[in-house]
Structures are given as structure tokens and as C-alpha cells.
């Protein structure tokens, strides 16, 4: 029996479908019945019979911040895929993002140990590797003194909980996916970028980062858990791509004009200030923060050599991931003729 946390998220929902397609027995942690509808929508991207695969899943309600809940969820479980995470770049959320992501990982690790779960796959992030100006690998040291985002710090500390569990005898693998591209909830995660570009995006930054198809991340997670690899971490990254190239490919796939105005640091600082004023007046969450602006200016490069050598995976090119996701976005958002 397999347990998946964060099951309604972009990766979690695709991971569920990949597991169900392989005939696995699965339990999935959800927040509400609405989560099941979101998961069913993702399944429908890949099959005309989503209900056939949903029927293979047992739904669990619980709070990952509550150890007793997590202990109950993991009873009788052989493998756990921990994909759940809390994401926010609001300054006011910094303490919560760090503490809650750490606590969730701590509870999962402790519950796995208590219930003698055979293996854990912990989904971390490239954010947990820091943002150093050199090729980043699994061996890159995290700079605790650097200007790391709350999400970065939280994911790093969550990894430490997994390494602590490994030191105490737990078999685990850690995945550090780059920015994940794929179809899902168009208001969340990288899916929201397609909605932004579709509305008309004129601006871009000079930054670079890694991108990877959600289907490849799910595949790597399952393959590593089915193999004999334990107590290692792997960067899951298809390509390092600059934002202008990415947004241009998105725009072309959506039938929109690519961005043409390059944002410099002064413009980004002004945009953050204006966005802060907007949030004060409306109470809405900011679209741009100082942390997201700073990160978007960085030129980050990630190596996937380790996972390629281990599994032989041929990653889906970013351009193909964009086309695939854009086609589903258009199908869902454009009026049918």
C-alpha cells in the first residue's frame, strides 16, 4: 500500500495517476471533496475513464501538522510519497512557511519510523539547494547565511528532517525538482504562468532557472522507489532556460505576443513597492514580492547528470512541456465552437 501526501497539487495529482496506471494500491491525503474533483480533472487529461483510476484510490482526511493524524495515515503503509508543501513568498508568512514545512516533514519521518514504513520518497525542491552563482549539483552546500527565501529555508530544513530519519535507519530518497511544468489548477503553482501569459505579458527578466515536465518528475519518483536506490538525493531538471525564452514559447503556444520589455532592478523595486501598496489597500496576496523579484533576476544553472546516469531518463524538452500544457489550457479556457 502506498500513501501520497499533497495529492491535489500539480505533482501529487500526476503522481497519483501514474501510480494508478501501474495498478498500485493507493491512499491519498486530501483536504476536502473539492480536492477529488481537481484530481479527477487532471486524470481526464490522460484518459477518457478517470473514474476507473480514481476507484483505485482510498481518500484520507487529516492534518499533516498533527503527528497523531500522520501516524494514523501511515499505519499499514509500505511506501510514502511526501509531496505536500506550503508555498508563499509574502514577508508576513516567512515564519509559518519555514516552521510548517519543517514540521510536516518531521511528522512524516517520525510516523514512518513508528509504523515501520519500508521507504519514503521526499519531494523537495531546487529551492533547497540555494541560489549560488555556479552550476548547482546535489553536492552544492546550502548557504545558511545567504538571502534565502522562506520557502528555500523551509524546504532545506525539511530535508534535514529526512536526513535525520535516514541516520536513524529509515530508507529514503530525496528529489529536488526544478520548476515543474504541467496542466492542473490554473490559479496555482507554475500553472498560473500560463494564465498570466494568456492575459498578455509584456515584461520579462534576465534570469535563468531549471524547468521540468511534471510527468518526468512523477516517473523519476516511482522508478527510484521501485529500484534499489536509498539514502540519496537527485536533482530532477530537464533544461536550464531563461525567462524570455520560456515566456516566448508560452506566448506562441497560446497564440499571444511574446514579452518585449526587459525589467531592470530599478523597475523591479518600483513594481514591488506598488504591489505592496495594492495589497495594503485590497488585502489580497501580492503577485510580486521582493523575494520573487530577486530570484527572477538570478541566473541559476542546475545539473541533472546524477539522475540521468542512474536511470537513463531522456527528459521531455521544455518546449514540448509548454506545448502540451498550453494545449490543455486552451481546451479548458477557450469557448467551444
Q: What is the pLDDT of residues 280-296, one digit of tens each?
A: 455 555 556 656 666 77
Averaged confidence pLDDT in the chain: 89
Of 175, 98, 131, the C-alpha closest to 294 is: 131
- Of residues 153 and 92, more confidently modeled: 153
The predicted pLDDT at position 323 comes to 98
Within 10 A of 57 (CB to CB), how many other CB atoms are there? Answer: 23
The predicted pLDDT at position 264 comes to 78
**Cα dist. 234→100, 136, 172 in Å?**
23, 12, 12
pLDDT band, residue 205 (cuts 50/70/90): confident
User: pLDDT tens digits for 135-184?
Assistant: 999 999 888 766 788 888 999 999 999 999 999 999 999 999 999 999 99
Q: Which residue has the cell 476507473?
A: 52
What percentage of the chain exceeds 90 in pLDDT? 70
The three-point CA angle 184-188-193 to 5° equals 85
CB neighbour class for 22 (10 Å; exposed up to 12, middle 13-18, buried from 19):
exposed
User: pLDDT tens digits for 20-57?
Assistant: 999 999 999 998 888 999 999 999 999 999 999 999 89
CATH of the structural domain 2-181+212-238+302-317, one choice from 1.10.10.60, 1.25.40.10, 3.30.565.10, 3.40.50.720 = 3.40.50.720
**Cα dist. 297→84, 178, 283, 326 in Å?**
27, 16, 27, 25
User: pLDDT tens digits for 225-251?
Assistant: 999 888 999 999 999 999 999 999 999
**Cα dist. 172→17, 32, 65, 280, 319 in Å?**
22, 29, 20, 43, 32
The predicted pLDDT at position 89 comes to 62
The alpha carbon of 85 is separated from its chain's Cα centroid by a whole number of angstroms, namely 8
The predicted pLDDT at position 124 comes to 96
The residue-averaged pLDDT of 250-265 equals: 90
Is the pLDDT at 224 greater than 90? The verdict is yes
The predicted pLDDT at position 17 comes to 97
* 261 in Cβ contact with 204 (< 8 Å): yes
**Cα dist. 126→212, 293, 303, 325 in Å?**
11, 17, 11, 22
* 257 in Cβ contact with 217 (< 8 Å): no
Within 10 A of 72 (CB to CB), how many other CB atoms are there? Answer: 13
* 300 in Cβ contact with 207 (< 8 Å): yes
> Which triple of cell numbers denotes residue 34?
473539492
CA distance 222 to 19: 8
Within 10 A of 146 (CB to CB), how many other CB atoms are there? Answer: 11
**Cα dist. 82→50, 236, 323 in Å?**
23, 16, 28
The predicted pLDDT at position 180 comes to 96
The predicted pLDDT at position 280 comes to 46
Cβ neighbours of residue 153 closer than 8 Å, sequence gap 6 or more: 97, 98
The residue-averaged pLDDT of 95-116 equals: 94
Amino acid at each position: 500500500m502506498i500513501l501520497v501526501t499533497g495529492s491535489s497539487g500539480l505533482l501529487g495529482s500526476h503522481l497519483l495517476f501514474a501510480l494508478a496506471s501501474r495498478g498500485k494500491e493507493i491512499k491519498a491525503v486530501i483536504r476536502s471533496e473539492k480536492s477529488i474533483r481537481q484530481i479527477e480533472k487532471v486524470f481526464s487529461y490522460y484518459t477518457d475513464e478517470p473514474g476507473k483510476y480514481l476507484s483505485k484510490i482510498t481518500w484520507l482526511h487529516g492534518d499533516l501538522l498533527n503527528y497523531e493524524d500522520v501516524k494514523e495515515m501511515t499505519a499499514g503503509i509500505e511506501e510514502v510519497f511526501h509531496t505536500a508543501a506550503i508555498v508563499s513568498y509574502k514577508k508576513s508568512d516567512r515564519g509559518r512557511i519555514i516552521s510548517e514545512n519543517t514540521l510536516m516533514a518531521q511528522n512524516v519521518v517520525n510516523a514512518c519510523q513508528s509504523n515501520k514504513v519500508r521507504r519514503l520518497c521526499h519531494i523537495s525542491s531546487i529551492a533547497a539547494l540555494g541560489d549560488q552563482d555556479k552550476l548547482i549539483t546535489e553536492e552544492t552546500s546550502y548557504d545558511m547565511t545567504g538571502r534565502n527565501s522562506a520557502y528555500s529555508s523551509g524546504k532545506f530544513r525539511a530535508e534535514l528532517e529526512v536526513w535525520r530519519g535516514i541516520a536513524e535507519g529509515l530508507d529514503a530518497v530525496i528529489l529536488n525538482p526544478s520548476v515543474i511544468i504541467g496542466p492542473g489548477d490554473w490559479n496555482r503553482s507554475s500553472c498560473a504562468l500560463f494564465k498570466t501569459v494568456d492575459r498578455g505579458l509584456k515584461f520579462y527578466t534576465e534570469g535563468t532557472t531549471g524547468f521540468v515536465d511534471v510527468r518526468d518528475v512523477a516517473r523519476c519518483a516511482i522508478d527510484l522507489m521501485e529500484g534499489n536506490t536509498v539514502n540519496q538525493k537527485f536533482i530532477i531538471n530537464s533544461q536550464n532556460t531563461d525567462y524570455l525564452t520560456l515566456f516566448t514559447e508560452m506566448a506562441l503556444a497560446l497564440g499571444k505576443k511574446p514579452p518585449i520589455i526587459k525589467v531592470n532592478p530599478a523597475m523591479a523595486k518600483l513594481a514591488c513597492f506598488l504591489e505592496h501598496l495594492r495589497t495594503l489597500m485590497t488585502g489580497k496576496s501580492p503577485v510580486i514580492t521582493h523575494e520573487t523579484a530577486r530570484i527572477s533576476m538570478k541566473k541559476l544553472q542546475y545539473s541533472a547528470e546524477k539522475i540521468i546516469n542512474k536511470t537513463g531518463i531522456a527528459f521531455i524538452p521544455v518546449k514540448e512541456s509548454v506545448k502540451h500544457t498550453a494545449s490543455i489550457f486552451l481546451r479548458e479556457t477557450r469557448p467551444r465552437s
